[in-house]
Structure 1
Amino acid sequence: MAIIIPKLTVAQAATIINAIITFLQYSIGLALVALLLYCIPPFNSANSWSVAARQVHTSLWPVILRRTHTYASTRVNFFSTLSLISALLVAICGIVVPLGLKQGPPVHSFFHPINASFIQDTSPLGLATSPRQDFKFGRICGGISQVLCPGNTPETINRTEIPPSVFETFSSTPHGPFNMEFRRYFINNGGYNFSMAKAQIGIVQSLILQEGIFAADGLIIDMTETPGIGFSNHTIPSLGDGSTWSQEMFWLEPVTTCVNTNLTIDYIRVDEFGVDNFNLTDRGGFANLTTEYPQLSRDGQNINLYEHAYKGAVLGNFFTMMGFNNMTRNESFVGKTYLLNRSSTSYTIGDMTTGDLSFLQNATLGDPDTSCRGFGGADNANITNVGVQCGGFAGPAQRTDGGDERIPSMNSTWTQSIHVCASTTRASIQTVTFTINSTRDLRDLQITRKISNTSVLWAVEKTDLMIRDVDLFWGHVVDKYESDPSLWTIRSNALYVPAGGSDSWGVTGAGQPSTVPAAAWAKVYALSSLSDFDYSGKTNFALLTKWQSLLAKNPETGNAQIRNLIWTDMVANSLVGTETHSTLVAASLEPSVTYDLRYAIPLLLLFIIWVPSFLASTFILVLGRLKVTYLRDFIDHTAVGRLALGDSALAPVDMRGGSEPVHLNEGSWRKAVGKTIVSFRSIINVRRSGGETFYDKVPKSPAASD
């Protein structure tokens, strides 16, 4: 049977219990002494009076009544007061000190290898994942007509199998293209009528509104400010009370930079769907347009996405300006508005439109052309031509009249900023740390990740094919391939994924899950063509609110963050990791407590008294300066029974040093009892020297044995 008491912590409950016990401890002593004095008969043996006196004097009654300290010496008063303070501090410590205790975080024991077992994901994403046994990697090459894939021979041009040498190279570590598979797939004819595993691209379970880092079937998904996905077929150590462990994980992350065009779309809401004064406003995009042609560095893996986005923004503004009757920058000014023709566009008010911004009077701002991406389909596929997607971006609608964005109203004014963004995919190896309690549920995993700055060897297939004809294999390989003539290699802590046919055509390559990131970027920059999920916020108001909050923090980084989160959601719904660990180096979790040192102040004061007292008493006892036999004699001869019978070694001494006892009359005993000098020093001195005591020489009376 248990009692449940709400609104109390364990420390608070322990404090209440200690307070009750302390109260009982002292109050029961007072009560029993009072009952003893009430019930004691007027005639008792000497030992009985000694026992009764001991009970009275060890209780709190002398402290409360303050009767014995009136005429005591300074030394006796000092140690008596110190004992009282110590007793009070002990009582206070018993009540206050436990309040500082709190449940601490779990701490891990030592790490050691331990068997791990697979854990099933029961979320919609996990339940929708296709079985793995029928999946098969493959590849076809040729965007317009079939060509020979890297590693194949002319005799194998009509085959889709990956050459063993290529498979061996990019399987030499678990951080490459063969560690990922399509989440959902079906076997059907791919390009050139080859039967292949094709991706079923779709949103099984949108994760866009989730926060933090969490696990899903085959993936670690990060939806924080630095989104991305890690690939792992989850296994958990077999430790019943919880455990923690770390894994080096293959990681893909979106990287985006956005540049403000300094153009906005502005309008007035007249009803739920209609608008008035639908204008493009020059915020400096036309009037302050640069006269210098934007440059784009060709530095391969040292990519500068800002240059890509800036070039797209400058050229987009220029062609948009030309669309208004070949207008020049001198004909515009900051704040000038241009009426837009809505009849020729399917633009929806508040829609987060990207890709197609044709309503901007012949604008090419949203066209991901070669000038912004930095490559074309006819360029050579290699490690230096990084897969970049570009496009214009009309951000979520933001209210400009001071009203609440969540409550649109008639005649409210709204604006949408236009940015040009450039995005790519970066591969890296990252350390992911897992902690789980005694359950076996992926939702209970606590996950943190740390970017590894360790430089590793990355490789990309070497070929002379055009980008539109091939999706190259890439990944982390072992060091023996560093000088392989069939590879481009680089030592770095990350690899920007090279451009391929999936970037040019915007589709996923059959049999090649590694093409999903590029195909996802193509969809991100053409949201109007997506029907799988409403990423614009047009029908998902929670999503719209999230987008608006990101823009409110920072328009440039907010726009980039929107792109990155959409890409992460798409890729997580399309890919699954297959790397499995049957053994993990893990540590079990053990409970701990934390303590607030403010509650230890009474204990500190008690230690200040205890430490010198304990050390000094130990010193005089160990060195024989005080003998235990003296303590026993002192107890015996200060007993009230011996004093009453005159059998005690205590004797009054004259102030002048005489040995004759002082005779007191009955009227002056109250005053004299506090001033008369009573000596026990002879026993102290003799006991210190180990000789015979005065008490040993006194004849024993028959009453002494009573």
Structure 2
Amino acid sequence: MVVRLSDLDVADVSGMIAAAVAVIQIFIPLALPLILLGVLRDEQASATTTSAVSWSVIGRFLHSSRWPTLLYADSAAIRGVPRHILFITRMKTILAVLTAIAAVVTPLGLYETIVENDEWTENVSFHYIEDPSEFGYGTPERMDLPWSRLCGFYVPMQCPNSFSNVTTVSNETHISSHIERLDTRVPQYVIDAFQSGLKDQEDSVSSIFDIQSRSYTWSTADDRMGNTAWDQGRPYPISTFRMLKSNVLANDYLAVEGLVVDMKNGGIGFRNHSAPPRTPYGSTWSEDLLFIEPETACVDTNLTIDFMIPRYTSEETASFTYTDLVLTDRGGFANLNTTYPTYETTNTQHNPQLRERAYKGAWFNNALSMAFLNVTNIKNESDPNSRAFSYLNSHVGKQFPLMSKSGRQTPHLILSVNELRISTLFGRYLDGLDEGIEARNGSILNVTIEGEEPLYSNPFNITFEDDFSLANTLCSGKGGADAANLDNFAAECGLVYGAPSRLDNESSPIVFEPGSKWSIPMYSCIMTAKATIKRVTFKFNGTDDLSALKVTEINDKVYPNEESKPLWGVERSDSDLADVRPLWGLVSSPDQGNISLYTLRKESLYLPGYADGFVRFSPNGGLQNLPGVDFYVKGITSVFQEADSSQYLPDYTGSMNLAMNRRWQELSKSANTTAKILNLIWTDVSANGVVGTRGLHGAIVQDSSSNLEKRDMEKSGPASNTPRVRYMERRVRYRWAYAVPALIVLVLTAIIAFATLFFVLIGRASMARMRQYLNKTSQGRILTTYLYGQKGEMFASAPPTSPKLARTSTRRWVQNVGKNPVTVAEAPNDSLIINGPQAGQAQPLLQPNPMMQPQPYQPGPSDGNEK
């Protein structure tokens, strides 16, 4: 690996410098002793003469270097040395090595980073930041749009608390309306009621009336053909839809014009984006935001659709994308619990029982499929002795063909080797398999078509219009005729055909080889949406636009007690879900004047409504401008529509995107992760459909020339309180793993310091004793004591010339005998010869040497002062 200068940081350079210093510290103590040996002159072979004090200095210098250890000299010996002495002397070497390692390694842990300041800054002025992405470019400026609302499914009806005057008459066979005035406006007191709870929240929290359609237009009621024109024929706004960009594979928190988008788990938060003033290193803060998030539960049917890609292409198989199409019982038939499932339909806000609902859809789908295939029977209502599930003709692994020998299959089952499908129609994989083909001649192409018998006889006459269609209603738990109240939340059910995965696992999951076998899991899923308040953390740094705003965390808001939880209100009426989509929002109390409410104090609210399959995101938009009650239902129905039935939405099947196909393969391996697929699609579509208009950056300012409000102005008035902000700053940080050698050195140093203090306090390590042992181990003193018989401190022919010399033993010794020349030589018989002028003990130190005759010592009058 090549390391360039640009790859190095401060810590790397510091470590390199420390390594160079360590090398120098090792080299110099090794080199200087060699230089000293070079300057010492031998009078003859192995004989060197210098002063006694020089021998002490030379000994100290040589033995304090690393050469005794390298050459295993006497001072580095191990044998014969007591363990406590050996341990203490070895600690010096160990600490020297550890210190050198620490000097190199320790700086490597240093690095610079940008961190939050320890102090919060109050009352920071926020300003609008523009979105330079497709979302900002494709979102029109906000006009002072009035809200418009229409009610009634079959005929116009009077909406709750509206200015309209409509009388509706209905009986068993007919429903009609008498219209005196039809007004689409939403009264201000209604708006105020559903925003009243905002005073108990942070200024960043939005209401239902801070949610606008990202795209809108104007419409005029057609009063021709005798129709009654609402709003006296004046133009009124309606919501529309245009897809801007898909982020379904982003797997990140995104900030786009008017929204915070959670593409990790699903959900959108409403915020007209603003930020504090730019600083060199940025800033961070947290806000409470209103979030609408999908909640999906899926249950595995334990049935799979399996097939094989044709091995060869021929005239017969040229039009087939797969062969051997079968329905495989993975336990969905053989292990079906024959007890009819139920779930609680009251108190759904606290216990929606989504999994129980999805299980009921799966159970009904499997039970009807079993009857269609004659795997089991259903109860004969005309026979009191009849009971369902009296026999079972299946086992785990049994396969049921879904394709005739000629390649014919159900025309309603549109599958592909690389697609994920979502449908509201349960059991569609069997539709048409109980019908045969009659033989006929003389078609348009003059081709003879041979007749075929049905694949299955369908002995119990299971129909898709009357039987399988009930699975959806039984799963969602309601229909359009149910009451528009708090318990009936918007939900849709359907069957998810997961992305096909290879059965053999012999190659890449996105390589569709001829002859490979594939399997499609099937899940029963239910989706709903809920409103909640989340705590969102932002970081702002870089350019002064939305590209510099990052969402770092999205967490559920934590409430200290029950009373601090938000109070949700839902509009109360005596209407059906198909006729009225109730308003909802944060309210201050259950009493909102003449507006009748259902209220709930809870962390979240499952949103009311009815997913009828007709209300979905499309350019047509609908007949009203009230996206807060429409968009989440449109998102749900858009998810469950057939994958190729809308030209206005991206292709979410994965057939045109291998990355998406592989992502869906991974997520559709289990029921829980399959639910995430639906949540992500809902989030992606809904983010393109709506925008939040509440922000923290001041009051509305209008352009008088165009009467257009700038998008950087807040629709609901100025924010009185902005969140506390922490500014970022540059700091030096450390990776503690690199500090291990230094910490070891510190621990050993602390132990040594404690031991030193202990011995000093008990008097075993005084300065006087240290001087004594230094003198005892001084080589020059040993030599002169041997040669002259005394230490050399006291005897002298004249008193010391100064009191300082008298007080210092070393100076007295040097003054008396330390300057005397001493010769140290090695004899041929491995003896050490010590010689000095007028020394009485001038003889070999280790063995007698007859060739050396000692000379008696005769002190002269000036020995103590000059030698």
Q: What range is the shorter-chain TM-score in?
A: 0.7 to 0.9
2:735 paired residue among 584, 594, 597 = 594
The aligned counterpart of 1:519 is: 634
What corresponds to 2:125 in structure 1? Answer: 115
Residue identity in the other structure for 1:208? V
- Residue in structure 1 matched with residue 494 of structure 2 by the alignment: 391
- Are residue 298 (structure 1) and residue 345 (structure 2) matched? yes
Structure 1 segment 210-609 matched on structure 2, within 5 A:
210-224=250-264, 226-238=265-277, 239-270=279-310, 274=320, 275-285=322-332, 291-299=338-346, 300-301=348-349, 302-320=351-369, 328=377, 330=391, 332-334=393-395, 335-339=398-402, 342=409, 344-345=411-412, 347-350=414-417, 351-353=419-421, 354-356=423-425, 358=428, 360-361=430-431, 362-363=463-464, 365=468, 369-404=472-507, 405-437=509-541, 442=547, 445-454=550-559, 455-479=565-589, 486-500=596-610, 505-506=615-616, 510-514=624-628, 515-527=630-642, 528-531=644-647, 532-552=649-669, 554=670, 556-582=671-697, 583-589=722-728, 590-591=730-731, 592-596=733-737, 597-609=739-751
Q: Distance in 2 between matches of 1:223 and 1:307?
A: 27
CA–CA separation in structure 2 for the residues paired with 1:119 and 1:618: 69
Query: Residue 107 of structure 2: which of 85, 98, 101 is its match?
Result: 98
2:814 partner letter: A
CA contact 1:520–1:567 (8 Å) conserved in 2:
yes
Aligned Cα RMSD in Å?
4.6
Contact preservation (8 Å) 1:213, 1:220: yes
In the TM superposition, residue 179 of structure 1 has moved relative to its aligned partner by: 2.7
Name structure 2 gaps, 5 residues minimum. 43-48, 167-180, 199-204, 223-229, 378-388, 432-462, 560-564, 698-721, 775-802, 819-837, 848-861
Aligned equivalents of 1:594, 1:21: Cα separation in 2: 22
Give the 3 Å change call, closer, same or farther, for CA 373–76 of structure 1 in structure 2: closer
Residue 166 of structure 1, CA deviation: 1.6
- 1:190, 1:702 → 2: CA distance? 129
Distance 1:410 1:313 in 2: 33
Question: Residue 745 of structure 2 aligns to which amino acid in structure 1?
Answer: L
> C-alpha separation between the residues in 1 aligned to 2:119 and 2:91?
47
Identity of aligned residues (%): 29
State whether structure 2 residue 788 is matched by structure 1 residue 646.
no
Deviation at 1:36, TM superposition (A): 6.9
Query: Hey, what does 2:451 align to over in structure 1?
Result: none
**Shift in Å, 1:53:** 9.6
Q: 1:278 is matched by which residue type in structure 2?
A: L
The Cα of 1:81 is off from its aligned counterpart by 6.7
1:496 maps to amino acid: Y
* TM-aligned CA deviation for residue 325 of structure 1: 8.5
Alpha-carbon contact 1:248-1:431 (below 8 Å) kept: yes
Alpha-carbon distance, 1:609 to partner: 4.8
Assess if the C-alpha contact under 8 Å between 1:258 and 1:420 holds in 2. yes
SS at match of 1:600: helix
Q: Does 1:166 find its partner at 2:166?
A: no
Q: 1:703 to 1:61 in 2, by over 3 A?
A: farther
Aligned counterparts of 2:863 and 2:600: Cα–Cα separation in 1: 105
CA contact (8 A) 2:571 2:596 kept: yes
Secondary structure of the equivalent of 1:21? helix
1:5 corresponds to 2:108: no
State whether structure 2 residue 63 is matched by structure 1 residue 14.
no
Cα distance in 2, alignment partners of residues 283 and 132 from structure 1: 54
Say which SS state the counterpart of residue 585 (structure 1) adopts.
coil
Inter-CA distance 178–57: structure 2 relative to 1 (3 Å threshold): same
1-side partners of 2:241 and 2:368: how far apart? 34
Mark the structure with the bigger radius of gyration. 2
Aligned residues: 659
Alpha-carbon separation, structure 2, partners of 1:474 and 1:186: 24
CA distance in 1 between counterparts of 2:308 and 2:497 reads 17
Specify the code of the residue in structure 1 equivalent to 2:323. Answer: D
Structure-2 residue corresponding to 1:666: 842
Give, as a single letter, the amino acid of the residue that structure 2 aligns with 1:235.
S
The aligned counterpart of 1:658 is: none
Shift of 1:9: 5.8
Deviations 1:62-117 (CA, angstroms, capped at 9, x unpaired): 8878989599x999999877666655554343234334556678354222323333
Specify the code of the residue in structure 2 equivalent to 1:93.
A
> In the alignment, residue 501 of structure 2 is paired with which amino acid?
Q
Structure 1 contact 520–571 (Cα < 8 Å) conserved: yes
Tell me: CA distance 1:318–1:83, structure 2 relative to 1, closer, same or farther (3 Å).
closer
TM-score for the superposition, normalised by structure 2? 0.65
After superposition, the Cα gap between the structure-2 partners of 1:83 and 1:420, relative to the gap in structure 1 and judged at 3 Å, is closer
User: What are the ranges of 5 or more consecutive residues in structure 1 without an aligned counterpart?
Assistant: 649-661, 672-698
* Contact 2:590 2:598 survives alignment (8 Å): no
SS of residue in 2 equivalent to 1:308: helix
SS at match of 1:407: coil
Q: Is the 8 A contact 1:141 1:470 kept in 2?
A: yes
Q: 1:243, CA displacement in angstroms?
A: 2.8
Distance 2:68 2:301 in 1: 89
Cα distance per residue 1:619-638 (max 9 Å; x no partner): 799xx998999999799946
Q: Which residue of 1 aligns with 2:227?
A: none
Q: 1:616 deviation in Å?
A: 5.7
* Cα distance in 2 between the residues matched to 1:492 and 1:541: 42
Cα distance in 2 for residues equivalent to 1:506 and 1:86: 75
Equivalent residue for 2:718?
Answer: none
Q: Is the 8 A contact 2:364 2:471 kept in 1?
A: no
The question of whether the paired residues in 2 share the 8 Å contact of 1:458 and 1:490 is answered with: yes
Q: Displacement of 1:5 after TM fit?
A: 2.7
Specify the SS of the correspondent of 1:529.
coil
Change (3 A) 1:66 1:634: farther
Out of 129, 132, 138, the residue aligned to residue 139 of structure 2 is 129
- Which residue is equivalent to 1:684? none
1:539 match: secondary structure: coil
Worse-matched range after superposition: 609-618 or 12-21 = 609-618
Shift of 1:576: 1.9
The Cα offsets for residues 111-134 of structure 1, whole Å up to 9 and x where unpaired, read as 232333333322223322222235
Q: SS state of the match for residue 584, structure 1?
A: coil
Code of the residue aligned with 2:22 in structure 1: it is: T
| Code of the aligned partner of 1:563 | L
The answer as to whether partners of 2:341 and 2:360 remain within 8 angstroms in 1 is yes
More helix by share: 1
* Deviations 1:268-309, CA, capped at 9 Å, x for gaps: 332585133434445554566555443242123121112322
